[in-house]
Structure 1
Amino acid sequence: MCGRYASARKKHELLEEFEVELDGDPETELGADYNVAPTKNVYAVLSRVPKEAPKAAERAIRQLRTVKWGLVPAWAKDPSIGSRLINARIETVAEKPSFRQAFARRRCLLPADGYFEWMPVEGEKKKQPYFIHPEDGGVLAMAGLYEFWKDPSRDDDDPLKWLVTCTVITTQAEDEIGRIHDRMPMMIERDRWAEWLDPKLTDIERASGLLVPADQGRLTAYPVSTDVNNVRNNGPDLIKPLMDDGETALF
């Protein structure tokens, strides 16, 4: 699974990197987060047709939105289910009731600098955390889904009436990454961003065909401090390499 990641880029960097046309939450800027955990607010890149767009000029606009990590299906009785739906397995995402509608129409990209996984330490009961990230230092565009949930307890004009949530699609990890953990987030390469985000692409087989595992060597990993185990810890030290003496590198 993918249960923790780092996202430290500033909003203006993401707007430029993903060629975003509309800042969906202009008054909100999330700070650098080196320990993103489920139920936190995160950035999502998605494409939607504005409600106010003339019928003849309907065009999906790429936008950056702030959403909550942990998908709440539209049919859910309450939002508590979201904490159990932080990941969607590629093997079942198109059929599982919690995800199939979003997979057909509400796909997104979740920007990250990298993600964390834990590897059992041979002969010990503890696990060693690793930071896994693109070797070229670029952004990791994780495949995601988003969904809208309407709170029946709130008035229609309440700004909190609608909750927007997301989930990360995961796949089988291979090579060195698979040695650390058998699952990993599905990456979407830049040349497939537009098609993946297109809400008019509702063909399940075509959408599934865009989910291609990362090329060998695309990602690299190194051990980091166990401080990341506690979600209350944050800061750039969490992604610094762990040296042989168990200390983090001083850079």
Structure 2
Amino acid sequence: MCYDISFSSNIQLITDYLPDLVVDPQLNFDFDMAIHVMAQAYRKYPVIINDGGTHKLMPFEWGVIADYMNTPEKIKQSRQYMCNAQSEKIINDKKSFWRRIRSKRCLIPVTGIFEHREIKGWKNKVPYFIHLKDRPMFCIPGLYHYSPIPDAETGEIKGTFTLITRAANSVMKQIHNGGPNVFRMPLFLPKELELKWLQPDLTDEGIQEVLDFEMPSEQLDYWPVFTIRSTKPRPDNQEKTAPYTWPSLPPLGIDESTEQKNLFS
């Protein structure tokens, strides 16, 4: 799945993407802190919605709070599973909550995402930074929903969102090669399909057309980076998205380290 995203620029990159975009006055987002955003921190993040024909940039929290999460205890118990939505369930699974909110479509602006790769014999996974070639910023499609209960502290009815994933392409299969949701990737799209996702009159057939798109591996750029889910500073003092050389890291497609192979050769 996808639980780590990055936005390493400023709001102008988003407003240039959609010149008619209306920025919500309550959007108070620190873009300097967005180089790594984790899903289960449930932070507010800028997402684009179509509200009555107007494109708006809204501060929504990552991790949908569904209608059945009507107590703080239920939210705490279940929200962690609502940060990603499988594309296969949005139209075809009639029992899915995602199908129920399929008209509430949004775009999640990013400059890239992170995914972790397993290496046989290694204690920790190796993170990779992935982005679309020739696009400084792109958008991942999502769904949004307003919380059924107000925030306990502020009384706010929160806007929340989920990020859509699909079966991985050949490169992403080699990067996201382990874990309970192995061989998944975000629903990467060309810009014309990103904008189509926001069309309010999109039919189920149109939605499915977007969901069926698979980004060719050749359109992705990617490289290993230093550990991202730790407060430990990088030895080279570079940003989290900068390439990092891991000793004995095998090339993609080989999941056993060269160091381990040498021990048994």
Q: Give the superposed CA RMSD.
A: 2.5
For the 8 Å contact 2:85–2:164, the answer to whether it is kept is: yes
AA aligned opposite 1:89: Q
1:231 and 1:93, CA in 2 relative to 1: closer, same or farther beyond 3 A?
farther
Q: SS at the partner of 2:195?
A: helix
TM score, norm. by length of structure 2: 0.78
For the 8 Å contact 2:63–2:82, the answer to whether it is kept is: yes
Match of residue 69, structure 1, among 62, 73, 90:
62
Distance in 2, matches of 1:192 and 1:116, equals 22
For the 8 Å contact 1:30–1:42, the answer to whether it is kept is: no
Question: Following TM superposition, by how much is the alpha carbon of 1:159 offset from its aligned partner in structure 2, in angstroms?
Answer: 6.9
* Residue 47 (structure 2) aligns with: 44
* Residue 136 (structure 1) aligns with: 134
Q: SS at the partner of 2:101?
A: helix
Distance in 1, matches of 2:150 and 2:247, equals 55
AA aligned opposite 1:173: A
Provide structure 1 residue ranges, at least 5 long, that are not aligned to the other structure.
50-59, 247-251
Q: SS at the partner of 1:13?
A: helix
Question: Following TM superposition, by how much is the alpha carbon of 1:93 offset from its aligned partner in structure 2, in angstroms?
Answer: 2.4
For 1:167-226, what per-residue CA distance to the aligned partner results, in whole angstroms no more than 9, with x for missing partners? 01001112222101111100232112332112232x322211112111331112111001
**Runs of 4+ more than 4 Å apart:** 231-236
Distance in 1, matches of 2:204 and 2:231, equals 36
Provide structure 2 residue ranges, at least 5 long, that are not aligned to the other structure.
177-182, 249-265
Q: SS at the partner of 1:229?
A: coil
* Residue 144 (structure 2) aligns with: 146
* Residue 93 (structure 1) aligns with: 90
AA aligned opposite 1:230: S
Identity %: 23
For 1:102-129, what per-residue CA distance to the aligned partner results, in whole angstroms no more than 9, with x for missing partners? 21x1111101111111111133232111
AA aligned opposite 1:9: S
1:19 and 1:224, CA in 2 relative to 1: closer, same or farther beyond 3 A?
same
* Residue 163 (structure 1) aligns with: 158
* Residue 178 (structure 1) aligns with: 173
For the 8 Å contact 1:47–1:61, the answer to whether it is kept is: yes
Distance in 2, matches of 1:26 and 1:187, equals 28
169-178 vs 191-200, greater mean Cα deviation? 191-200
Between structures 1 and 2, the one with greater strand share:
1
1:231 and 1:151, CA in 2 relative to 1: closer, same or farther beyond 3 A?
farther
Distance in 1, matches of 2:150 and 2:26, equals 26
TM score, norm. by length of structure 1: 0.82
Q: SS at the partner of 1:43?
A: strand
1:176 and 1:216, CA in 2 relative to 1: closer, same or farther beyond 3 A?
closer
